[in-house]
Amino acid sequence: GHPVVVVGAGAAGVQTVVALREKGYDGPLLLLGDEPHRPYDRPPLSKSVLLGGDADAVRFDVDFDALGVEVRLGCGARGLRPEARELDTARGPVGYRALVLATGAEPVRLPGAAGLPSVHELRTLDDARRLGPVLAERREVVVVGAGWIGAEFATAATAAGCRVTVVEAADRPLAGALPAEVTGPMRAWYREAGVELRTGVGVRRIEDGAVELADGERLTAGAVLVGVGARPATAWLAGSGVAIGARGDVLADEGLRTSVPDVYAVGDCASFPSARFGGRLLVHHWDNALQGPRAVAASLTGGAGAVYDPVPYFWSEQFGRFVQYAGHHADADTLVRRGDPDGDAWSVCWLREERLVAVLSVGRARDLAQGKRLIASGAPLVRERVADADVPLKSA
């Protein structure tokens, strides 16, 4: 019969085939990836590969032959015909008994930037390899966007000895993810690292070796790194009947099923409803690419009704700090600080009524671990105790 087919050989796709075997699926299994490389992990790209770290070390330590998984690389999916239960790929049609979409996300591109030799993005191993010489030659760099990728790239580039200017259209770093009370102290991180951070100014035009700002100023650079967000890689599903949301996300249900029978979606390409937090979540972080596949593997191996409602988690390493976040907060949630935000270690908690819904910690790993458990349990908290950084985070 036809195999279970997984499209996209990133973290989520690889986890899907591993989890299927772990849960006892012993039928044929095919993993399709459009990149030419053996499947690899992305977080080390911005943290070590840029600085000359071993690019082979980023490969997932998975023996696909031993797992009985056929891996087809350089074989992108181009279309899906659910009524025939077939995918169209670069090398012809492929039939499936069940299909898991794991195509991840791709960087948002700025108009006019495509193809300029000095303009870069940072999503793939090839991107990181292209950026290697920029750092090795200590070129002056302009980074467009002060998000997670911009901050991690600026960290690596300054460590390599580059002069770095970060330009951000919003009035602060990480504006899409965190409120001003939380990002306020992060300005100093840039300053202390010697990075010039210019906020509240958009980019009008990108040229080879220069960025023209909305106010007319022109910054010249040996390289430009564009880090203005990522969007699910789902354009190839147009017309297939798989429901896609406004953000380009595959609209999965609480079991990560798509709108098409026997087609599931995991990782950066898919959003899912969260009863825990209320609303639909689109999570672009590594842990989600690990956990979602376990739920799908459970469904595909007979665990009917497996529900995916995680406490999302991620980490970032920037300017010598270890930043971690668990949960999901909304603007209306109450923000409670733990510790001095100008110091080396502090946390922020978000409460909804008397329950913890999210925690961000900078160098306070224990707050993160305890907070994550409290978010999962939904146990009530006393706000005054949450604010006391000297007592552990625990329920009333």
Residues that bind ligand FAD (CB under 6 A): 7-13, 32-35, 42-43, 45-46, 76-77, 102-105, 122-123, 149, 233, 236, 267-269, 284-287, 289, 314-316
Nearest-approach distance from CB 98 to ligand FAD, in angstroms: 17
Torsion of CA 126, 128, 133, 136, to 10 degrees: -160
CB of 213 to ligand FAD, least distance (A): 25
Cβ-based nearer residue to ligand FAD, 149 or 356: 149
Tokens of 15: 């986890």
Which is closer to ligand FAD, CB of 172 or CB of 285? 285
Sign of CA dihedral 239, 242, 245, 248: negative
Phi and psi at residue 366, in whole multiples of 5°? -65, -40
CB of 307 to ligand FAD, least distance (A): 20
Minimum CB distance to ligand FAD smaller for 25 or for 322: 322
Q: Could you please report the per-residue DSSP string of 235-281?
A: GGGTTSS--B-TTS-EE--TTSB-SSTTEEE-GGGEEEE-TTTSSEE
Q: How far is the CB of 78 from ligand FAD (least distance, A)?
A: 7
376 vs 365: CA distance, rounded Å: 17
Q: Is residue 20 exposed (0-12), middle (13-18) or buried (19+ Cβ within 10 Å)?
A: buried
Residue nearest to ligand FAD (CB): 10
Closest separation in Å from C-beta 382 to ligand FAD: 31
Closer by beta carbon to ligand FAD, 196 or else 287? 287
Nearest-approach distance from CB 88 to ligand FAD, in angstroms: 10
User: Minimum CB separation from ligand FAD for residue 146, in Å?
Assistant: 15
Beta carbon nearer to ligand FAD, 9 or 348: 9
CA distances from 83 to 1, 28, 263, 308, 369 (A): 17, 21, 12, 27, 46
Q: What is the DSSP string of 317-377?
A: EETTEEEEEEE---TTSEEEEES-TTSS-EEEEEEETTEEEEEEEES-HHHHHHHHHHHHH
Nearer residue to ligand FAD within complex by CB, 172 or 284 = 284
Of 234 and 381, the one with the shorter C-beta distance to ligand FAD is 234
